[in-house]
Structure 1
Amino acid sequence: MSFLVLHARLITVPAGTDDPGYIDDGWMLVGDDGRIAALGAGTPPVGTVADETLDVDGAFVAPGFVSSHSHLFTSGLRGLGVADTLYGWCDSMLGSTAHMSADQLYWSTLHGSLDFLSNGVTTAYNFTDPLQAWESMVDGKRTGTAGLRGLEYHWRQAEGTRDAGIRFVDAAGMDVTAGTPDEVFERFAAEVAHTRTFDPDFALGSSIMGQVQWSPHPEAAEFEVEAMRRFGVTNQAHFLESPEAVEHQQSKFALYRDAGALELGLVFGHFIQTTPDIIERSVAGGAAMSWQPASNGRLASGVALVPEMLEMGMRVGVGLDDQACTDVSDPWQNMRMGIYMQRARTKDPLSMMPERMLRLHTLGGAEIMGVADRVGSLEVGKFADFVVVDPRRPDVGPLWHPVRSYVLAMSPRNLKAVYVGGRLVNADGVSTNPLAAEASAKLHELPAALVPLRGHPH
């Protein structure tokens, strides 16, 4: 069904320019295929017709947000590990998922995906909970001997993302300490193959959850690089995140560098406890990074040197991380926290401007995920994934600089509708997904199911 949007404050975030692409009174035509067929200023050309017309009457219409680093299975674990940094928080949060069944992870992932959509996030890079259960870190290290769960544990998480209707890149850990090399690659191949049976308009790609930071295996980086080449997948690694055991963390950079991962476009998630040499080598090698401002603040991880990295030519995207370490999956909060953190650190307001922050949380995220040809901006040929945001409900006053007000003054309270492929998926915070009520009910059963198994997490 074709769809025509009228009288919109369009923010298009076009590729190839720093201009946010603002049109004060614009229109957008969505074709039967769910892609943007045309857009422009003023009124559509004579003869433009559609099956349905939406007059947004001066509301913002902007790209759906892209989260380039997410863990959607954590939606039922908010508020845990509040007194801890990364490793202790993981003990609390992942120590709970260690007792969850594949079906419980399905509903948690589905709920988390719908939660993202309800706040305007239409595409997510999603780390699934690995098959190898979490084990505590000691001095930044782990043994890699935890038990291994069956493939269904990953498959059900991927299915939860699919059934929510969010677009996603599915990331799975290789767990290289579990099994022979042949078994490791066969297991990962089965995870990738399952996701590749999904509709490619929604399952945008497969990826590796890079585990070198966590793995004691001396050849973990080589395994991941071989999988990138063999299966044609990307790789994003949690790296240099926590303020503990920093020297040990930094020593592992050489493993990725020497294995050739940088040249294959490795993405570093968080990338906070860096050195000038690590940044320089990463940029020279072609690596990118994903920045999670709200998560980094919640876990007391620190502030990544994002303006400096951008100045050096590093590709950067922004992620919301997960509900268990941001609590509210609010992309506007995430943008503002990013702006404020960088300005407070540099004492320079130009170090992070609203227009740049918006680009990083939309097109920038899509670029480092390798999906910018399909999502991340409102351009002809891309999927019509967009949000309708009304600055008058509640009223924020005059829009002296509309794009800056969109970033600095909007929030989910102004979000009136979310569309994926021109199809309404959420209206005023209410999901149109027929599984939404069941997902909510299943999620609220988790405490009663998990506390007898592991006790009450902190």
Structure 2
Amino acid sequence: MSETVINARWIAPVDGRRRWLENHAVVVRQGRIAAILPRDDAARAHPDAEVVDRPHHLLIPGLINAHTHAAMNLMRGVANDLPLMPWLQEHIWPLEGQFMSQAFVADGTDLAMAEMIRGGTTCFNDMYFFPDVAADRVDRAGMRAGIGMILIDFPTVWAANPDEYLDKGLAVRDEWRHHERIVTPFAPHAPYTVSDGPLTKMRTYADEMDVRVHMHVHETAHEVNNAVEQHGQRPLARLDALGLLTPNLLAVHMTQLTDAEIERCAAAGVHVIHSPESNLKLASGLAPVQRLRDAGVNVALGTDGAASNNDLDMIGEMRTAALIGKIAGDDAAAVSADAALEMATIAGARALGIADETGSIEVGKAADLAAVDLSALETRPVFDPIAALVYSASREQVTDTWVAGRALMRDRRLTTLDLDDVMQRTDAWADKLAAFAAAQTKS
């Protein structure tokens, strides 16, 4: 029976019991964690196993990026220093209208996955067009993902109307529902782009199938104020009236919240996905993360798309979440390093409904892991490896990434994606998008 023993200086299980273990090993068998033992005990008990020594590394659960638009990596930096609605309406939507295709999504998703793997991310939760194509790329690359069944009122190259979005999304679900690494939540874009009828129909499906719903909610004050003007109520109240505030809802951003709304989300079991760097860049606001956590709300972490971040760096996202969480909470103890790591791992797994499978280093779970070299000058000395990870480390210090025991990166070398090929395809798209943007500027 093939086994691998991964030796590490530190292991952060994120299991709610131990902050870290020192000089321990994780034993991997058939893609799952078979044992967690002191290093010498693992060597004696598994003498024939392949051994991966990482003597200066912190081994963590694979990071879970709980909110992405992966293919938007091809639009990284295309429009900067703008608020959300001008950014969307004047730049992103016109580009999508011109270039959106199966090839765009395939190449953009590969670019995003290469970046995420190199940063220790093993799972991402996506919301974008052509989810069938994205699922195929995930399958090929070996990552784990939530592939959203996108829903929006207006026509796109993917679907002409809400009924077609739902039909095509459900077809994607049927195709991938038994895949061991892919789940398929519904992905209605936002309250301001999806009307009551489609949301009600989708909610019925979600309730019947017990499927997650991944949606931008309360992203900006402008969104909330417009909703009050148009509907006479705030977006969360409208979603509540439609029966959508349940443990299946993954509410992304949530920067504009009253105490009563926080209490309602906690009572309903809503998951919140925090995207701090995108919120900062678009000046959308600060989510009250510590207040949400104190109320008992599960808060996970996501980067948003690289067009508004401009990266998919979950280590950087942890640092930003911890730092601005202290400002938002007016408390230096708010959103600790441990809390940030939890948000980037097991909280994301809980949000996606896959916490029994991944999100922590525990016997029986899938071996979704990342090794971070803390021997660099920039992370020395190491008094607390979790604090070193969150406050000092960079994604370039990730050396190895495994999903279900399979090395997707070993010693900084991608094993399932051809880096040169990904970059060549990216450069070809960059030329096309740049030419279009230049022509738009002249006209």
> After TM superposition, is the score higher than 0.5?
yes
What TM-score, normalized by structure 1, do the two folds share?
0.87
Partner Cα distance (2:176, 2:98) in 1: 24
Partner amino acid, structure 2, of 1:99: Q
The farther-off stretch of 262-271 and 243-252 is 243-252
What is the DSSP-based 3-state SS (H/G/I as helix, E as strand, rest coil) of the residue aligned with 1:75?
A: helix
The farther-off stretch of 413-422 and 305-314 is 413-422
Are 1:155 and 2:132 counterparts? Answer: yes
Partner of 2:96: 97
Partner amino acid, structure 2, of 1:164: A
Asked if 2 retains the 8 angstrom alpha-carbon contact of 1:96 and 1:457, the reply is: no
What is the DSSP-based 3-state SS (H/G/I as helix, E as strand, rest coil) of the residue aligned with 2:56?
A: coil
Partner of 1:433: 416
Structure 2: which 5+ runs fail to align? 228-232
What TM-score, normalized by structure 2, do the two folds share?
0.90
**How far does residue 414 in structure 1 lie from its aligned partner after superposition?**
1.8
Q: How does 1:115-134 map to 2 (within 5 A)?
A: 115-129=115-129
Number of residue pairs the alignment of both structures matches: 428
Partner amino acid, structure 2, of 1:40: L
Flag the 1:117–1:80 CA change in 2: closer, same or farther, 3 A.
same
Asked if 1 retains the 8 angstrom alpha-carbon contact of 2:8 and 2:58, the reply is: no
What is the DSSP-based 3-state SS (H/G/I as helix, E as strand, rest coil) of the residue aligned with 2:98?
A: coil
Structure 1: which 5+ runs fail to align? 130-152
Structure with a larger share of its residues in helix? 2
Partner of 1:30: 28
The farther-off stretch of 264-273 and 425-434 is 425-434
Q: How does 1:384-423 map to 2 (within 5 A)?
A: 384-394=367-377, 396-423=379-406
Are 1:327 and 2:295 counterparts? Answer: no
Q: How does 1:5-24 map to 2 (within 5 A)?
A: 5-14=6-15, 17=16, 19-24=17-22
Flag the 1:47–1:280 CA change in 2: closer, same or farther, 3 A.
closer
Are 1:315 and 2:298 counterparts? Answer: yes
Asked if 1 retains the 8 angstrom alpha-carbon contact of 2:131 and 2:148, the reply is: no
What does the per-residue CA deviation read over 1:47-89, in whole Å, with 9 as the maximum and x for residues that have no partner? 3234310111132111111111111111111112212111222
Flag the 1:400–1:231 CA change in 2: closer, same or farther, 3 A.
same
Partner Cα distance (2:440, 2:331) in 1: 40
Asked if 1 retains the 8 angstrom alpha-carbon contact of 2:152 and 2:194, the reply is: no
Asked if 1 retains the 8 angstrom alpha-carbon contact of 2:12 and 2:61, the reply is: yes
**How far does residue 216 in structure 1 lie from its aligned partner after superposition?**
5.4
What is the DSSP-based 3-state SS (H/G/I as helix, E as strand, rest coil) of the residue aligned with 2:7?
A: strand
Partner of 1:352: 335
Partner Cα distance (1:457, 1:418) in 2: 41
Partner Cα distance (1:214, 1:332) in 2: 31
Partner Cα distance (1:345, 1:264) in 2: 25
Partner Cα distance (2:225, 2:352) in 1: 28
**How far does residue 22 in structure 1 lie from its aligned partner after superposition?**
0.3
Flag the 1:184–1:386 CA change in 2: closer, same or farther, 3 A.
closer
What is the DSSP-based 3-state SS (H/G/I as helix, E as strand, rest coil) of the residue aligned with 1:280?
A: helix
**How far does residue 451 in structure 1 lie from its aligned partner after superposition?**
4.5
**How far does residue 438 in structure 1 lie from its aligned partner after superposition?**
2.3
What is the DSSP-based 3-state SS (H/G/I as helix, E as strand, rest coil) of the residue aligned with 1:56?
A: strand
What is the DSSP-based 3-state SS (H/G/I as helix, E as strand, rest coil) of the residue aligned with 2:246?
A: helix
Partner Cα distance (1:254, 1:88) in 2: 26
Asked if 1 retains the 8 angstrom alpha-carbon contact of 2:249 and 2:271, the reply is: yes
Partner Cα distance (1:49, 1:11) in 2: 24
**How far does residue 248 in structure 1 lie from its aligned partner after superposition?**
2.6
Partner amino acid, structure 2, of 1:49: P
Partner Cα distance (1:355, 1:452) in 2: 45
**Candidates 181, 188, 196, aligned match of 1:210:** 188
Partner amino acid, structure 1, of 2:95: S
What is the DSSP-based 3-state SS (H/G/I as helix, E as strand, rest coil) of the residue aligned with 2:41?
A: coil
Partner of 2:180: 201
Flag the 1:429–1:327 CA change in 2: closer, same or farther, 3 A.
farther
Asked if 2 retains the 8 angstrom alpha-carbon contact of 1:286 and 1:314, the reply is: yes
Partner Cα distance (1:7, 1:187) in 2: 45
Partner amino acid, structure 1, of 2:4: F
Aligned-pair identity (%): 21
What is the DSSP-based 3-state SS (H/G/I as helix, E as strand, rest coil) of the residue aligned with 1:209?
A: strand
